[in-house]
Amino acid sequence: MKIRIEKAACVGNARCAHVSEALFPLNDDGYIAVDHVDVPEGQEQLAKRGARACPERIIFIEEE
């Protein structure tokens, strides 16, 4: 599973990072720091919860 993020559209709500800082790291200004993540095995549910937590809906789960 992979996470794809439209990083330029992030407005800094940080709800994803509240679900998992490891999967959704923030930069020093509080915006998402990455545009894709390979989800480690066992963290799929956290990835999905983080995507659902984003009010802008800029986080996409890509099942392999």
Beta strands 59-62 and 36-38 are: unpaired
Token look-up 């937590």 returns 53
Which has the closest alpha carbon to 3: 52, 37, 46? 37
> pTM for this structure?
0.92
Kindly report, residue by residue over 21-39, the tens digit of the pLDDT: 999 999 999 999 999 999 9
Kindly report, residue by residue over 4-18, the tens digit of the pLDDT: 999 999 999 999 999
Q: Which domains are present in the chain?
A: 2-62 (3.30.70.20)
Structure tokens at 33: 């720091």
